[in-house]
Amino acid sequence: MSTMAARLEFRDVTKRFADPRAGAVVAVEGVSLNVSDGEVVSLIGPSGCGKSTLLNMGAGLDPPNSGEVLVDGERVGGPSRHVAFMLQKDLLLPWRTIVENVELGQEILGVPRRDRRRRALDLLAKCRLPDFIDHYPHQLSGGMRQRAALARTLAVDPSVLLMDEPFSALDAQTKMVLQQDLGRTLADTGKTALFITHDLVEAVALSDRILVMSPRPGRIIREIVVAIPDRDNPMKRRQHPNVGAYVVELMNLLQIEQAAA
Amino acid sequence: MILASALLFVGFLAAWQWMPALFGIPAFIIPSVGTVWDEFLRMLGHDRLVFHTAITAMQVGIGFILGVLLGIVCGFALGLSPSAEFVLSPYILALQIAPKVAFAPLFIIWFGYTVYPKILVCILIVFFPIMINVLGAVRALDPDIVRLARAFTASRVQVFWKIELPAAMPPLFAGLRIAATLAVIGVLVGELVGGNIGLGYLLAFGEGAGNTAMVFVTIILLTLIGIVLYGLVVLVEGRVLHYLPARARLAT
């Protein structure tokens, strides 16, 4: 794995959960990974392999039982303003307008009203939602809501983005549009991202590298470098002839065909 | 719509005026609307009706506000502390099932024929729908929303003011609507049990004197107090919950 200046690093991280029936369940075991500055890395693996657990530890919401998580070389001891996460659910607050939702993170950090409004409006324009700033979440479609959630995540200017299947609840076409938005935005802003997904093509289209995890207890069993150009243009990347080979490789690693047989 | 509504009201008054006589119902069973109006004017002049109405309205207002505040505080305290709810839930359940109006005589023994027993019964009866709704709202809040706020480095206090409190508003207002209708009952029961002030006193007096029109007047005024309180709740709700989609809002 890369030893360049890592934005996000997991060093031999293990996480166990107490389970009333099974005693302790090991969610992830001995996971080491690092994501360099400006890199997009996807985590892929069977359901329940501890991907989301890794993300929670990265966000400082849940400490590991052993090993350590570092952001910009500093040990993560709790939530930090340098890390922001985005989930499958948009989690927009229904009582706030879209622009107020985008401002939430900055508001919590104590950014002055005018500055945070300016930044929120700027991001909403970039996320192609400028006409909906004063709407309430229920007035927007699922894709627009998820774009607003992306703007909210970017508004705190985090150095690392943690994304847990952010597009999995969207229909196939909306999903492709949002992948394109995300690919562009990540490239434009030079953000570092760890991206969890079940969608193999999505992983290939968006990432520099893909890490494949085993079933529980989750371990990283393979690292695949996606050697396809145009990471800033997932739509174009999808059409690249090599995508199929990567998908087949991932299918084999995840033993998808055996599961269907 | 408004015309139909007005016509129905006029029709209702007309029926009240002439139907009882038409069916031979004596005035001591159902007095006509004219008789009730005359009794209303007589009570204004001779029975200090404004004073008694104001006393009842004041008790309802104070009891309602205190009961609501107490309900909100307890709802959040129990909602945010599962262990406290676990320990206290049997008592809360028992107190919730106990008929609150039965406490009226007890409070009169404790505080005498003052306004306090009435206000206390009102607080007790208003408290539960508020507490239960706030508690339910805190429990129903998506934990991922709280995780999101925490990931943005929100403090416990920020999570409360920015997430938990606003999230509890729709159920709180559902509880307020129920509480507004119960508040008048609480005060009235207290007044019926003892004392010589308030509409409940006039109601009991009218019953003792066999003055049916007087009973009607007090029932109508008690209802009006309830309507004003309910109207205020709806008014505030419209401002606080303006963000809800139209279909999620109640018309009245």
Which domains can be identified in chain B, with CATH numbers?
A: 49-251 (1.10.3720.10)
Partner-chain contact A108 B158, CB within 8 Å: yes
Residue A170 to residue B51: CA distance in whole angstroms: 63
Q: Touching check for A108 and chain B: CB below 8 Å?
A: yes
What pLDDT sits at residue B251? 61
Q: Residue A253: name the closest of A216, A224, A226 by CA.
A: A224
* Closest CA relative to residue A160, chosen from A235, A60, A66: A60
A232-244 pLDDT, tens digit per residue, is 999 999 999 999 9
> In the predicted model, what is the mean pLDDT of residues B220-245?
93
The residue whose two tokens read 């739509």 is A235
Lowest mean pLDDT of A36-50, A207-221, B84-98, B238-252, name the range.
B238-252
Mean pLDDT calculated for residue range A44-66: 88
| Pairing of the two strands A209-213 and A6-19 | unpaired
A129 pLDDT more than 60? yes
Q: How many residues does chain B have?
A: 252
Nearest to A27 by CA among A215, A170, A230, A186: A215
| DSSP-derived secondary structure letter, A218 | B
HSE (side-chain half, CA atoms, 13 Å) at B106: 8
Structure tokens of B145?
A: 């929303």
Is a pLDDT exceeding 90 seen at residue B56?
yes
Confidence band for B202, pLDDT divided at 50, 70 and 90: very high
Q: Which residues contact B174 (CB under 8 A, 6 or more apart)?
A: B133
Whether chain A has a CB inside 8 Å of the CB on B144: the answer is yes
Q: Which chain A residues contact residue B166 at CB under 8 A?
A: 93, 95
User: Mean of the per-residue pLDDT values for chain B?
Assistant: 92
Judge whether residue A138 has pLDDT over 90.
Answer: yes
A105 has a chain B CB within 8 A of its CB: yes
Q: Is A120 helix (H, G, I), strand (E, B) or coil?
A: helix
Contact A94 B151 (CB under 8 A): no
Q: Is the pLDDT of residue B139 over 50?
A: yes
The tokens for B164 are 């938990």
d(CA A201, CA B88): 53
State how far residue A98 is from chain B, nearest Cα, in angstroms: 12
Percent of chain B exceeding pLDDT 70 equals 98
How many residues are listed for chain A in this entry?
A: 261
Helix (H), strand (E), coil (C) string for chain B? CHHHHHHHHHHHHHHHHHHHHHCCCCCCCCCCHHHHHHHHHHHHHHCCHHHHHHHHHHHHHHHHHHHHHHHHHHHHHHHHCHHHHHHHHHHHHHHHHCCHHHHHHHHHHHHCCCCHHHHHHHHHHHHHHHHHHHHHHHHHCCHHHHHHHHHCCCCHHHHHHHHHHHHCHHHHHHHHHHHHHHHHHHHHHHHHHCCCCCHHHHHHHHHHCCCHHHHHHHHHHHHHHHHHHHHHHHHHHHHHCCCCCHHHCCCC
Contact status of B139 with chain A (Cβ, < 8 Å): no
CA atoms within 13 A on the CB side of A169: 15
- The overall average pLDDT reported for chain A is 90
pLDDT > 80? residue B178:
yes
**Residues B157, B164: contact at Cβ < 8 Å?**
no
Distance from CA of B98 to the nearest CA of A (A): 36
> Residue A36 pairs with which residues in a beta bridge?
A6
In chain B, % of residues over pLDDT 90: 76
pLDDT the model gives residue A2? 44
At A73, is the secondary structure helix, strand, or coil? coil
Gap between the Cα atoms of A141 and A213, Å rounded:
33
Distance, in Å, from the CA atom of B85 to the CA atom of B98, rounded to the nearest integer, reads 19
- In order of A14, A25, A198, A211, A220, the CA distances from A217 in angstroms are 9, 8, 18, 15, 10
Contacts of residue A172, defined as CB under 8 A and 6 or more positions apart, other chains included, come to: none
Q: How far is CA A160 from CA A36, B101, B231, in A?
A: 10, 59, 50
* Count of Cβ atoms closer than 10 Å to residue A71 Cβ: 22
Q: Reduce the DSSP state of residue A118 to 3 states and report it.
A: helix
Angle between helices A113-126 and A142-155 (to 10 degrees): 130
Angle between helices B49-80 and B33-46 (to 10 degrees): 90
Nearest by CB to A79, from B142, B145, B150: name it.
Answer: B150
